[in-house]
Structure 1
Amino acid sequence: MTFRLPSRLLLWFIGLLGVALLTLFVVCVTTQIPVPWQVMSLQSKHFRFFSDKNDSSSLEYQPSAENELDTAEELGQNSLQKSDVQNSSESGNDAKSDQAKSITNSLKPVAKPTELDFFGDRYATDDIPSQTNCPNNIRKRVPQTQFAEMFLHSIPVLQWAKHFSPVEYQRLSHYGGAHGWGSVSAEVLNSSLAILNTPANRLMFDDWENRAHRSECIRCAVVGNGGILNGSRKGKEIDEHDYVFRVNGAALTGFENDVGSRTSFYTFSTNTMRNSMRSYARVGYKGPPISKETRYIFLPDHDRDYILMKAASTHTAIDQGPERSKNPPTYFGEDVTVEKFKIYHPDFIRYLRNRFLHSNLLKTGARRIYRPSTGAVMLLAAIHTCDQVDAYGFMTPDYTLYSDHYYDKQRRAVHFYANHDMRMEMRLWQELHNAGLINLFMRQ
């Protein structure tokens, strides 16, 4: 005998099952949507000059070698979402500490403080005097441009031993990834920054005073890896600058006529450097350039960067993390000294993200991994330290005419990834060029 449910009971069962499934779906969705909160009760002005509502429409989430996020980095970046909640008490905590008041400033935030993507627009200050008396340097031209209210002249570009303190650790641990110290233990941070206690670690141009033929102004060439440089014949011009900045997979051998041969500053994170070594070995990139002139500037995404910097500068093995080894790291040469290392301050990176590259990606699912690209941090660091900046190999509006990189053996279209907003960066370079703050190499 076959058992059959009454039709009314069957309908009730189907209805309840549908309600349960709908409830489960709603719960799963809502747990990924941040709940609105009040961050700070401040009056603010909005300075988003470069946003584009259509930027996120054609993003790819597959990472490139230089953009790839490994598991450790993603875990570190997860704290970005949590940090915004803690911002609501940041103002009150700072008010309780005289020491915190003395090292931070409170300016009008770029993003509205009630917006969900807001990061605290409060930063440490450094009063490092200019190393030249250049009569027409970038800092003197900024007040006459649309960047006047965005630009902080006292923002610390580099961090070193003096920047660590329990108060500062409490403040910066609110922010994860490249934007703070939330991904680094106090022990690792303190022991690593303590190594950076020489004048060479706090000054960008630490050898300037010892140069025999100093010019009136510090002229910098900042070289990206864009395909626009292929066939450009700009190598000699680049090398004639006082300092040459390069980034990530900067392959030089065989490309000197187009990109030059000198490297004064090499900007990277441990992750992007190792990915570049794997991906661009075929074009001759074997690791960071090594020369007497070269300094190495870490963009710290998480504790791996602090750990590698300390091990390399002290010639000791790495005892933890993905780079664990029995022998000291040799990426930077066997005789490298601590004077060769610098590391960007997380306040500087967060300031760039808040004021210069506040992307609409922050309103998408990519917000937890978004930050300015490594090349963007390098170029904006040069703008904040050099007297004159010539930029080569950065994206221009005619980017579809060129391959992705200058060293590509076969033409590769430029791809856009969710952790950076390259179109926004491209427009920023145009605006800086038009404002006379940089000279951007363009073919069209």
Structure 2
Amino acid sequence: MLCRLLARRWKVLFAGCLLLIVSEFLRSGQDKNPLKHIKLELNFPIIGMIADRNANGPQLAPNGGDVTVDQVCVPAVTSQIGPLFHVTNSSDSKFSFRRNPRWSKSTCTESLQRTAFESTEFAPIFRPDIQMLINCNLFDVREYRRMQKWEIPFGYHYYMGNITYEEVRDVLNLFPSDNTIFNFRGRSRSQCITCAVVGNGGMLNGSRMGMEIDKHNYVFRVNEAYTKGYEEDVGSRTTHYVFFDRSLRYMKPEDYPVSPNITYIYVPCRKEDFSNLTAIGKRVGEFKVPPEHVRIIHPDFMRYIHFVWMRVKSFRPTTGAVMAMTALHACDKLSLYGLGYNNKYSNHYFDRKYKKFRVFRLSHDHEREIRLWDSLDKEGLVHWYRRDVF
């Protein structure tokens, strides 16, 4: 009996000593790095801290975290996050989106904005003042929490594990804080911005639309954007390239759309996209483009396209549709080429032999997108090159 009592006391004494050792270890670790302990508890670093740029020690961006050598983003002293606005009568928060406080109405007298605002069909949902891009100055813990509940690409929830605050923050720090897809530095803005959106549809093969496409101020391309050898049909200029991590998987590196004159618009669709963006930002991947030329689509804009404009149950809009909608909300005059798949022509304009278009209904709703291009064309918001198909 006495032996059992002594054994119990030894166990209690040992547990008490172990607890003291662990407590002392945690206190010492916390003193060395005060942010580390908070991060373990909340999984969020402290936000809103900006160190004096002339002071010694690490600088902290508005979204928290040390400014690294790779960081391209220039931290803003005051918040750049605009107010929320709501579309539709539904109380569902997925219809709430951030407004770009720096947006201004076009001065072009023939702008599609004017046509859209007067359209019975599109005036209630057309919001060119929406925040289309996300950057380090438009992201903090509160924004992460707001968007965490929606599945990527509409937020930061992912079925194989959430995309963490730190993952998003670290990626955004690698890219500039620009909130527009156009760069007017060093030159004046055109009063009326003309844009050509070029999809990869087979109806462009033999179309001879190349010269017409190249006459636009800006030319948007997507995914496998081959131009060499196809200039007569699709043109040779590229000013904007819209893509995600799978866009280049069938292209050879020598065919990648790489140019100092291109703005790259990234559409994150999966958790892997953040790894790909990190590689681009640190210039360690195969696709080596200047990080300062990369822009990232805002989850709010993706949600706005999908639930307000498309109103479908598929996984997400096609990358081509994201490209077209981005241009629709930024340009004054817009022409669409190579959008709308059909079986009269091969799947892509660059196919060497006929390939029938395959429908992936769970991923995209191509029929709905075709109806939207048709409506936009008939309402006079865009010119949709239909050839002899639609």
With normalisation by structure 2, the TM-score equals 0.73
CA contact (8 A) 1:158 1:345 kept: yes
Letter in 2 for 1:346: P
Q: Which has the higher contact order (CA 8 A, sep 6+)?
A: 1
Amino acid at match of 2:274: Y
Match of 1:164 in 2: 139
Structure 2 counterparts to residues 360-439 of structure 1, below 5 A: 362=313, 367=314, 370-395=315-340, 399-418=342-361, 419-439=363-383
Matches of 1:286 and 1:185 in 2, distance apart?
Answer: 34
2:262 matched to which residue of 1?
294
SS of equivalent residue, structure 1 residue 272: coil
Give 5+ residue unaligned stretches, structure 1. Answer: 1-98, 316-327
Cα distance in 1, alignment partners of residues 245 and 275 from structure 2: 10
CA contact (8 A) 2:200 2:349 kept: yes
Match of 2:295, SS state, is strand
Give TM-score scaled by structure 1 length: 0.64
Aligned to 2:243: 268
**Alpha-carbon distance in 1 for matches of 2:383, 2:208:** 17
Relative distance call for 1:329 and 1:243 in structure 2 (3 A) is: same
- Cα distance in 1, alignment partners of residues 237 and 82 from structure 2: 40
- In the TM superposition, 1:10-409 aligns within 5 A as 103-109=83-89, 120-130=94-104, 133-145=107-119, 146-183=121-158, 184-198=163-177, 201-206=178-183, 208-211=184-187, 215-274=190-249, 276-277=250-251, 288-315=256-283, 328-332=284-288, 336-359=289-312, 362=313, 367=314, 370-395=315-340, 399-409=342-352
Call closer, same or farther: CA 1:182–1:132 in 2, change over 3 Å.
same
Q: How far did 1:194 drift?
A: 2.1
Aligned residue pairs, count: 303
Alignment-mate amino acid for residue 342 of structure 1: R
Report the Cα offset of residue 205 of structure 1. Answer: 0.6
Preserved contact between residue 247 and residue 266 of structure 1 (Cα < 8 Å): yes
Q: Give, in angstroms, the shift of residue 238 of structure 1.
A: 0.9
Shift of 1:195: 2.6
Cα distance in structure 2, aligned partners of 1:215 and 1:187: 39
Report the 3-state secondary structure (helix = DSSP H, G, I; strand = E; otherwise coil) of the residue aligned with 1:120: helix
TM-fit CA distance, 1:130: 4.2
Evaluate the alpha carbon distance shift between residue 339 and residue 402 of structure 1 in structure 2; reply closer, same or farther with a 3 A threshold.
Answer: same
Q: 1:352, 1:377 within 8 Å by CA — same for their partners in 2?
A: yes
One-letter code aligned to 1:190: R
Which structure: greater helix fraction? 1
- Looking at structure 2, the residues matched to 185 and 439 of structure 1 have their Cα atoms a distance apart, in angstroms, of 41
State whether residues 223 and 246 of structure 1, in contact with CA within 8 Å, keep that contact through their aligned partners in structure 2: yes
SS at 2:264 equivalent: strand
Report the Cα offset of residue 228 of structure 1.
0.8
**Deviation sequence 1:330-375 (CA, Å, 0-9, x none):** 313xxx432210010011011111111112xx2xxxx5xx111100
Q: CA deviation at 1:165?
A: 0.9
Structure 1, residues 200-224: CA drift from partner, whole Å, max 9, x if none? x322111x34347x64211111000
Query: Aligned Cα RMSD in Å?
Result: 2.3
Rounded to whole Å, the distance in 2 between the matches of 1:400 and 1:102 is 44
SS in 1 for 2:247: helix
Tell whether the 8 Å contact from 2:128 to 2:330 is kept in structure 1 after alignment.
no
Greater than 4 Å deviation, 4+ residue runs: none
Which amino acid in 2 is paired with 1:189? V
Distance 1:178 1:287, change over 3 A: farther
**Whole-angstrom distance in 2 between the partners of 1:156 and 1:102:** 8
Q: Secondary structure at the match of 2:122?
A: coil
Q: Which runs of 5+ in 2 are unaligned?
A: 1-78
**AA paired with 2:286?**
T
Structure 1 range deviating more: 219-228 or 128-137: 128-137
Deviation at 1:127, TM superposition (A): 2.2
Could you tell me whether the CA contact under 8 Å between 1:132 and 1:218 is conserved in 2?
no
Larger radius of gyration: 2
Distance 1:400 1:311, change over 3 A: closer
Shift of 1:269: 0.8
Displacement of 1:169: 0.5
Partner SS, residue 273 of structure 1: coil
